[in-house]
Structure 1
Amino acid sequence: MKRRKAGAQLKLLTAPWRGPLSALSAVIIFGGIGYRITEGWDWGDSLWMVLITISTIGYGEVAPLTPAGRVVTVLIVVGGLVVVQLAIQRVLGLKESGYFRRLREFRFHRMLERMHDHVILCGYGRIGQEIAAQLQRDAVGLVVIETDPNRREVAEANGLHVLQADATLDETLLDAGLKQCCSLVAALPGDASNLYVVLSARDLRPDCRLIARANSDEAAAKLRLAGATVVVSPYVAGGRVMAASALRPLALNFMELLAGSNYEIEEFQLSHDPLHLMDISGRTLSELELGRRSGAMVLAIRDRGELIANPGGEMRLAPGQLLVVLGSKRQLLTFQELLGEAVETIETMPG
């Protein structure tokens, strides 16, 4: 359906040029035929003469023209002027009708179709701008959905791809690449709008990771029921940071230091299928030597709902465990390769 829509748009965009191009082709073909009949030239010389006549290059005649050939030349010149005039009028008309704006939108949508593993950000308010800035620092592909034209201009000035549309509509989410994205962030100012976005996204793509903003506990509960993977309240998060600054300043400074570095924290979800863990199941961290071989550090392991911080070398890996690992991009990639098919999913907390 999407391809048919794109094909229909392409036909509409090319339609205005069919008339001038057809007229130009007719002048060239009939001019070539005229020279062949009146002068007896081959097709190469005939078409060459037509081209230098229409373009007014003035290379000179292929051969002295007969009176009939001069008549053909005059007709070609007149026909060329008509075609040029027709093309100029068409361009002016297209500019007034918004054709070039539609052309830019078509190219933009084609670009969106080619994006993969990107993040869709709904809303470019103060919170959305901070989210976008963080994702840009981590070189993550990003598409912003925003209805406000002023915010759209700000986002585009910051080098972002912006789709000016209503994020609560299914068509908008699909146009933004919901089927190919890695996650969607609903950061609209209203709880109802974020709820609509989460409901639509969960229905269109059940396995998509959805992060939603909530302004109250009641809205947070409803967003979780609607299918949000993570719900964040700016007020609660801000309060926790301020409290942490008062009680645990060193821990907070470490997280800020981590955010400005090349290091990341990733969550490696091990498969629940024992067949995928045949090489590592039941073996300890010391036996696998994951830290020494990759350079990454296992910070914690969640096993059957229990969080084990700073696991020792005697800790054994089992199906369904979640490994929280700190390292650079290269170290984390090596860590993933060592685990192989045992890894089911990977979630990143940008550093």
Structure 2
Amino acid sequence: MNEQRRQRRPGRARTGQRRRHLQLLARPWVLPVMALTVVIVSGAIGYRITEGWDWGDCLWMVLITISTIGYGEVEPLSQAGRLVTVLIIAGGLLVVQLTIQRVLGLSQSGYFRQLRELRFRRMLRRMHDHVILCGYGRIGKEIGEQLLLENVQVLVVELDPKRHKAAQERGLQVLQADATLDETLLEAGLDRCRSLVAALPSNAANLYVILSARGLRKNCRLIARADSDEAASKLELAGASVVVSPYVAGGRVMAATALRPIAVDFMDLLAGTACEIEEFRLSQDPLLISHLSHRSLEELALDRRSGAMLLAIRDNSTLTANPSGDMTLAPGQMLVVMGSQDQLTAFKMLLGDALDTVETMGGSSPWTESTWR
């Protein structure tokens, strides 16, 4: 019960904060709207008393008078009716002047900037299955470019104004806030995102982000940047799903390009096609994979029935590439499969309840789905 109350408090706090923001945004317009309402109602009552018109004609006369359209009088006015018209014109001018002064004052006070921020936060609340990119430095910029190429929805969290502006100019959605704060991650939609990437320039800042994100959402996929082995080990202890060192990764790519250029070119070509490589993790529950276990791959015929290609099977630390037909499936194994989105969907349907999680490794339109049991 206490845990449920703690989970509800942030939501209630955010709801109360949004309500206060709406009240602050509506407050400057209360006086002009009330003044305009008083002029319209008073003018209609004046015409009703002096001319005896019905309420429709009274309101119509007030509107065409106060808007200076001047279509003409509904009926010839008496002296008292003309006096009402003069008062309506004077009241309308006062209201217009009051409104203009209020708009100029709001523009100088940053009201319209707050309005844009409120609209942006409404957009944030509608985002889901997106990638949260913390930091838009050199590494973050390259990550953002790759995600844009993959048509993945990205939200950049960046505190530096210059980097914030650079990300906006690139067409990315940017939240200007401190990514190490819990409230920032919650506002960025951590509970609805597909993954979070901590690419801040400081190892300590990335560690704070990973600690906060893991504490807020236990099953979120967290990728972190590290500049040293010591930082990488600490990030793993903090809960990072994957830790990447730009220097180590760059060195490996360069070495692979020197030794196996065809393989590297193949992965580059794969990223520009509709073909994807996905990892299907099987459930640890033997009951859920009972329809797959004790049957060979040849009997299951997953490749033939789905059209996808089973590239490898990872069992703990052992990776079996190009598995033979007599190999059987077991709980907790990771199946590395390549194919189009339709073929991978068919493969997933064949696995059924045995499927635990799905992770996209490459392709033009990743569709990562995670089912946590």
- TM-score tier by shorter-chain length is over 0.9
Aligned mates of 2:314, 2:137 — CA distance in 1 = 35
After the TM superposition, which of the residue ranges 163-172 and 103-112 deviates more from structure 2? Answer: 163-172
Map residues 185-264 of structure 1 onto 2, 5 A cutoff: 185-264=197-276
1:99 aligns with 2:99: no
User: For residue 140 of structure 1, what is the amino acid of its counterpart?
Assistant: V
Write the deviation string for residues 186-223 of structure 1: whole angstroms up to 9, x where unpaired.
00111111111111111111211110000000100111
Residue-pair matches, total: 351
* 1:45 counterpart residue number: 57
Kindly state the Cα deviation for residue 175 of structure 1 after the two structures are TM-superposed: 1.2
Aligned mates of 1:25, 1:326 — CA distance in 2 = 66
User: For residue 158 of structure 2, what is the amino acid of its counterpart?
Assistant: E
Aligned mates of 2:246, 2:307 — CA distance in 1 = 35
User: For residue 272 of structure 1, what is the amino acid of its counterpart?
Assistant: Q
Q: CA RMSD in A?
A: 1.3
Aligned mates of 1:229, 1:71 — CA distance in 2 = 78
Aligned mates of 1:43, 1:275 — CA distance in 2 = 75
Aligned residues with identical type, % of pairs: 68
* 2:300 counterpart residue number: 288
Aligned partner (choices 5, 14, 21) of residue 33 of structure 2: 21
Aligned mates of 2:166, 2:255 — CA distance in 1 = 33
Instruction: Determine helix, strand or coil for the equivalent of 1:72.
Output: helix
| Inter-CA distance 75–266: structure 2 relative to 1 (3 Å threshold) | same
Aligned partner (choices 309, 312, 321) of residue 333 of structure 2: 321
Aligned partner (choices 279, 283, 287) of residue 267 of structure 1: 279
Instruction: Determine helix, strand or coil for the equivalent of 2:281.
Output: strand
Aligned mates of 1:343, 1:38 — CA distance in 2 = 80
Instruction: Determine helix, strand or coil for the equivalent of 1:274.
Output: coil
* 1:134 counterpart residue number: 146
Write the deviation string for residues 95-138 of structure 1: whole angstroms up to 9, x where unpaired.
10011111111111110011011110011111111111111111
Instruction: Determine helix, strand or coil for the equivalent of 2:62.
Output: helix
Aligned partner (choices 37, 44, 48) of residue 36 of structure 1: 48
Aligned partner (choices 147, 157, 161) of residue 149 of structure 1: 161
Kindly state the Cα deviation for residue 325 of structure 1 after the two structures are TM-superposed: 0.8
Aligned partner (choices 117, 121, 139) of residue 109 of structure 1: 121
Kindly state the Cα deviation for residue 146 of structure 1 after the two structures are TM-superposed: 1.0
TM-score normalized with structure 2 length:
0.91
Kindly state the Cα deviation for residue 183 of structure 1 after the two structures are TM-superposed: 0.7
User: For residue 45 of structure 2, what is the amino acid of its counterpart?
Assistant: I
Kindly state the Cα deviation for residue 277 of structure 1 after the two structures are TM-superposed: 2.5
Kindly state the Cα deviation for residue 324 of structure 1 after the two structures are TM-superposed: 0.8
Kindly state the Cα deviation for residue 235 of structure 1 after the two structures are TM-superposed: 0.4
Instruction: Determine helix, strand or coil for the equivalent of 1:168.
Output: coil
Map residues 148-187 of structure 1 onto 2, 5 A cutoff: 148-187=160-199
After the TM superposition, which of the residue ranges 295-304 and 285-294 deviates more from structure 2? Answer: 285-294
After the TM superposition, which of the residue ranges 94-103 and 341-350 deviates more from structure 2? Answer: 341-350
Kindly state the Cα deviation for residue 236 of structure 1 after the two structures are TM-superposed: 0.4
User: For residue 139 of structure 1, what is the amino acid of its counterpart?
Assistant: N
Gapped regions of structure 1 (runs ≥ 5): none
TM-score normalized with structure 1 length:
0.97
Aligned mates of 1:258, 1:92 — CA distance in 2 = 55
Instruction: Determine helix, strand or coil for the equivalent of 1:87.
Output: helix
Aligned partner (choices 53, 64, 72) of residue 76 of structure 2: 64
Aligned mates of 2:248, 2:275 — CA distance in 1 = 26
Aligned mates of 1:285, 1:43 — CA distance in 2 = 82
Map residues 75-90 of structure 1 onto 2, 5 A cutoff: 75-90=87-102
* 1:6 counterpart residue number: 18
Aligned mates of 2:87, 2:324 — CA distance in 1 = 91
Aligned mates of 2:62, 2:359 — CA distance in 1 = 64
Instruction: Determine helix, strand or coil for the equivalent of 1:276.
Output: coil
Aligned mates of 1:278, 1:42 — CA distance in 2 = 80
Kindly state the Cα deviation for residue 315 of structure 1 after the two structures are TM-superposed: 2.3
Aligned partner (choices 340, 346, 353) of residue 334 of structure 1: 346
